[in-house]
Structure 1
Amino acid sequence: MRVLLTGSSGWLGRFLAPRLRAAGHMVTGLDVAAGADTDVIGSVADRPLVDRLFGERGIEAVIHAGALHKPDIVRYPNQAFVDVNTSGTLNLLEAAVAAKASRFVFTSTTSLMISTAIREGRGDAAMWIDETMAPLEPRNIYGVTKLAAEQLCGLIHAEHGLPIVILRTARFFPEDDDTHAEPSGENMKANELLHRRLTVHDAAAAHLAALERAPAIGFGTFIVSATTPFARDETTALKRDAPAVIARHFPDAAALYAKAGWTLPASIDRVYDSALADRVLGFRCKTSFGDVLAALRDGRPLPAEHDPSYISPKE
């Protein structure tokens, strides 16, 4: 297929574009910044450019991975988030309908599911987060505009029948957390594979699965995160004493962490459940917390990509 990939110079795009080509697709990369996989420099907020690309390139499918993200809040005004994340998504959706594209994959975020109360860890139990959670109360402009974009996807599907798959991806950024300095980057990423992270390789693979399955699904929203070892009935214990719960699932985790000079999370406030993606999308992340422990045992490189010097190409 002739696929338009937005965000082609970004962290996900640099892994996704080669996989799309390896699968036999012809990729047109669109990004505001130059990159190895970017053919056209421009913004999804530029409707004439979007329309021209569909006409000139014969676009048959869209993977819309370009966006302003949470760390961009300190660099861009609210209006920029509306223009790019919401209006830009509508531009692509309407262009896809006009071009009679066969499918549309939208890269969304679990962040839009996290209210201020969840973010602050209120309550006596970890929040079990799946696609049925409601109401959704995004805590910042990033989440608000991504949720609005999801709703536009639903509207366009209902009105025009365009097959759309929305992937609410958990964390897969390589840089350090922009709000927490402890534990260290690699330690934190390893911990998050228990309940709120995936690797960029799994994120790319999920998009290929969504591209393939979109026509059969019609419309679907899926959380994509490494498979958690935890169960719903462990949420109170996870909030109270996470190391004890982890020990039940991974008896040697504490010793392996101690040898590495790492710390296990004392408390876990949320767990992302990706079971629906497994059942309906037919996708499960390859990498999990168990792979981290295996790497520590064997002295191999860690599976979660960590690059504290990473800067978005657009910056």
Structure 2
Amino acid sequence: MIHGNHASTAPTGTRVVMTGAGGNMGRGLAPRLLAAGYQLTLSDRKPVDGLDAEARFAAADVQTGEGLQAVMVDADILVHLPALHGIHVVDHIEREFWDLNVNGTFRTLQAAIDAGVRKVVWLSSQAWHEPNDVYGFTKVIGEQLLDYHRVRHGISYVAVRPASLVPWTDWARDYGRGLLYERVDRNDVLDAIVSSVDYVASNDNGLVLDALHPDAVPAADLAEWKLDPIGTADRLFPGARAIVQRFGLDISAPPVKPSKLGWTETGYAPSRDFGTWIDQVTGLSDDQVKARTSNY
């Protein structure tokens, strides 16, 4: 199966356990892993709606540890997804972030070690760069836990750090414009996780993967972008001028150059950029654009 420009071929009989399978990322990831040929066990506190017939379900609670040992039996790779995120800061206190993001990760890694699982893919975040934010702080600690278990217990891991992929509220400004700056398409992140599972299945080390938008604007064009953002955008992404002016998008700041940690090693090749969005929106009416809502 192709993920971006990456061909995923699961080693025969490789069994993946996915914790937090009922969440946003888990629901998108399960069909990709199955299509790639992995044997899949989905785990969460309660059964996952619409469970694929090829996957099995096993209940476990990462915050209490209940069920974790049983989930890990005979597993080869752990994909650990449960977390509170930045959008949850308004209605969750620091202790809740710690209990799920840190203690939950520690308990799950310990259960994996006890069961002989030595391959882990963990969903981190670009918030890792903001350690004084409660969410970013827990991601810093989480990556430290991974490396502790690498040194102490011999696990191999990939920590996947996506940019913002929260459900968009405004397809033109929040999503489309965002692909020049702080946002990444959810499908690229899902592809990044599958690429990470493929990588960790056959490599023994620790790796960070920046799951970011494509590097679609050459460095040589950034200076010109500062002088003529709309003209430069239209040259690089044909049709951009009309769309930017139509929706009053502010693209005056030069696009953010994505970090490429882990891209070469995993084969991560994101494909959804500002130009992809321009192609999607061209030809749609204003009402169609305004009615476009996030499907996750």
User: What TM-score do you get using the length of structure 2 for normalisation?
Assistant: 0.80
State the match for 2:24 in structure 1: 11
| Unmatched 5+ stretches in structure 1 | 114-136, 177-183, 311-315
Shift of 1:19: 1.4
SS at match of 1:149: helix
Q: 1:119 — aligned with what? A: none
Could you tell me whether the CA contact under 8 Å between 2:168 and 2:174 is conserved in 1? no
| Cα gap change, 1:108 to 1:220, in 2 (>3 Å) | same
Residue equivalent to 2:112: 96
Q: Secondary structure at the match of 1:271?
A: coil
1:206 aligns with 2:183: no
Query: Is 2:159 aligned against 1:166?
Result: yes
Does the 8 A contact of 1:86 with 1:145 survive in 2? yes
Structure 2 vs 1, CA of residues 151 and 247 (structure 1 numbering), >3 Å: closer, same or farther? Answer: same
Q: Which residue of 1 aligns with 2:7?
A: none
Is the Cα–Cα contact under 8 Å of residues 16 and 40 in structure 2 kept in the other structure? yes
Which runs of structure 2 are paired with 1:127-146 in the superposition (5 Å)?
A: 137-146=130-139
Tell me: CA distance 1:241–1:306, structure 2 relative to 1, closer, same or farther (3 Å).
Answer: farther
Pair 53,251 (structure 1): closer, same or farther in 2 beyond 3 Å: closer
Match of 2:36 in 1: 23
Question: Does residue 72 of the first structure (1) align with residue 88 of the second (2)?
Answer: yes
CA-CA distance at 1:249 after TM superposition: 2.4
Alignment of 1:1-315 (within 5 A): 1-32=14-45, 34-36=47-49, 37=51, 39-55=57-73, 58-113=74-129, 137-176=130-169, 184-214=170-200, 215-216=202-203, 218-232=205-219, 242-243=229-230, 245-250=232-237, 252-258=239-245, 261-268=246-253, 271=256, 273-297=258-282, 299=284, 306-307=293-294
Residue 270 (structure 1) shift: 7.2
Please give the TM-score of this superposition, normalised by the length of structure 1. 0.76
Per-residue CA shift, 1:30-62, capped at 9, x if unaligned? 23455324934543122242223223xx22211
Q: Is the 8 A contact 2:72 2:117 kept in 1?
A: no
Unaligned runs of 5+ in 2: 1-13
Distance 1:195 1:141 in 2: 23
Change in 2 beyond 3 A, CA 1:235/1:77: farther
Contact kept? 2:168, 2:175, Cα under 8 Å: no
Q: Percent identity?
A: 26
Alpha-carbon distance in structure 1 between the residues aligned to 2:18 and 2:224: 42
CA distance in 2 between counterparts of 1:85 and 1:241 reads 43
For 1:63, what is the secondary structure of its paired residue?
Answer: strand
After superposition, give the CA deviation of every residue in 1:55-111 in whole Å (9 maximum; x if it has no partner).
3xx222111111111111122111111011011111122222222214100111112
Q: Specify the SS of the correspondent of 2:247.
A: coil
The alpha-carbon deviation at position 7 of structure 1 amounts to: 2.1
Letter in 2 for 1:19: R
